Amino acid sequence: MNPENFGAPARSPEIQSISKAPTAIRGLDVILKGGFPLGRTTIISGTAGTGKTVMAMEFLLRGALEGHAGLFISFEERAEDVRANASAMGMNPAVLEEQSKLKIIHAEVPADAVRTGDFDTRGLLAMIEGHANLMGAKRIVLDAVDFLMSIFEDPGRERAEISILLNRLRDLAMTTIFTVKAEPGGRKIYPFLDFMADCVLFLDQRVDEQVRTRRLNVLKYRGSDFLSNEHPYSLTPEGLVLLPIPSVLPGESSFKKRVSSGNDELDRIMGGGYFMGSCILLTGPSGIGKTSLACTFAQSAYNRGEKVLYVDFEVCLETLVGAMQSIGLDLNPALDSDSRLRVLTGMPESAGAQEHLIRIIDEMTRFSPQHLVVDAISACRRMGSGKTAFDLLLHLITECRAKGITCFFTNQIRNQEHLIQVSGLGISSMVDTIIALEYFLEDQRMNRRLMVIKSRGSDHSKDFYRLDLSDTGVSLSRDTGRGDWTLTPDKRT
């Protein structure tokens, strides 16, 4: 023991993980910390329609594209149907079959077959081995193993045959995927299978407030670490997509550069403007001016040549453009060029949160904006369960933090108490700047005011400022009559 190291913090040794076969399925290798166990058995279980076959086929297809030949044995569906279903999911097995990187085999016992004595699966094994050797395949999928087992009417026999199959595939060092149907509610038809496999995944789908959500669970992964939560997933035209929340919390970054809010007064209030790459939350009741402030920020950014992605869950594009024109803000020139401002609109109810998230993240990848605006995060509660808005926010913040993108979120609230909550869950620790807008009664008129509740890393004014919306835009002033601050409309450049 070296005395010099004594005071040093302990470093946990790298866990020597087993060898893995990368799946190349989006997000899955992050959850499995590398992929499926190489040369071992993985079970994908789930109720009907959860995407077990899609996942298994995608594993083989993506592997085949990298040069790993794979064998797909279907016990339930015919080869043509397997091929057609894969094509419908945007995958093209026929080309790979021609290159002998993939083979699809249908092995069945017809329903009207006559049983006349004992039989076994030695023939199946011979067929598997023969084709695997011919193709040099080390990856194999056995789809609908429950179908295979139902042929043997004796439970003891079922186990025996599966064991023989599994052991032989293990001897051949084949990376084996079994798909198995589970009963709704997760009850296993063949519980012993889980013990035989090295890795078990469970796919679940449920309908939550009229929106379907799919979730993947890693139940077991012998010899390896994995992300253990339930992970939402989607079946998209490009295959299965998972967006796991990384296990590292978005840390507090040290922000250096400032960006203008688009309004000189607000910049002054903020001590110089917003921080580039930070997360700003603007909260307030309906109609108070959140969208106006969001667009004021966006316009000032794109006029400087920075790209803005504007996600609108509340209104359609025409309505947004029209509303902004009433405050003298014309979005059309930027929209026409499409290189500075891009707007994504859509009803929150139109899809699950996962699908919306994928759409936004994909657009961010394509467009590479410097800034992201989401108007309004509160509309996301219509995407399913109440927690959905929170999860979406968390994902977007994480994504933006990683890329240094400024996020600007609006949050519609009814009650002043819920200023810093989204669907009842506190988010103040996740955002860097919170600006609250509220109505107040003065001289029997409803007026608007703004206050910066919090701004991490910046000295900000703690006063209320009067907010006015006119056809020349947004303006802020200290309470009239005090004389210190005068009305200064924001400059249009």
Comparison of 75 and 202: residue with beta carbon closer to another protein: 75
Sign of CA dihedral 477, 478, 481, 485: negative
Closest contact distance (angstroms) between CB of 102 and another protein is 13
Kindly tell me which residue out of 36, 75, 297, 302 binds another protein, with binding defined by CB under 8 A.
Answer: 75
Structure tokens at 119: 């039989």
Q: State yes or no: residue 122 binds another protein (CB under 8 A).
A: yes
Kindly tell me which residue out of 33, 76, 106, 264 binds another protein, with binding defined by CB under 8 A.
Answer: 106
**Side chain identity, residue 128:** I
Closest contact distance (angstroms) between CB of 294 and another protein is 55
The rounded distance, in Å, linking the Cα atoms of 216 and 242 is: 9
Closest contact distance (angstroms) between CB of 191 and another protein is 24
Comparison of 88 and 446: residue with beta carbon closer to another protein: 88
Q: Could you give the 3-state DSSP secondary structure of residue 53?
A: helix
* Phi, psi (rounded to 5 degrees) for 272: 135, -10
- For residue 188, give the DSSP letter: B
Closest contact distance (angstroms) between CB of 377 and another protein is 51
Quote the crossing angle between the two packed helices 79-88 and 52-65, to the nearest 10°: 80
The rounded distance, in Å, linking the Cα atoms of 16 and 197 is: 20
Comparison of 117 and 305: residue with beta carbon closer to another protein: 117
Comparison of 78 and 492: residue with beta carbon closer to another protein: 78
Comparison of 151 and 469: residue with beta carbon closer to another protein: 151
Three-class HEC string of 28-40:
HHHHCCCCEECCC
Q: Which of residues 166-225 bind another protein (CB under 8 A)?
A: none
Query: Parallel, antiparallel, or unpaired for β 102-106 and 70-74?
Result: parallel
With contact defined as beta carbons under 8 Å apart, do 214 and 203 qualify? yes
Comparison of 110 and 483: residue with beta carbon closer to another protein: 110
Comparison of 80 and 330: residue with beta carbon closer to another protein: 80
Segment contacting another protein (CB under 8 A): 109-117, 321-329, 357-365, 481-489?
109-117
Cis peptide upstream of residue 376 (ω within 30 degrees of 0): yes
With contact defined as beta carbons under 8 Å apart, do 429 and 274 qualify? no
Segment contacting another protein (CB under 8 A): 60-68, 125-133, 372-380, 447-455?
125-133
Interface contacts to another protein, rule CB under 8 A? 75, 78, 80, 97, 105-110, 112-124, 126-127, 129-131, 148, 151
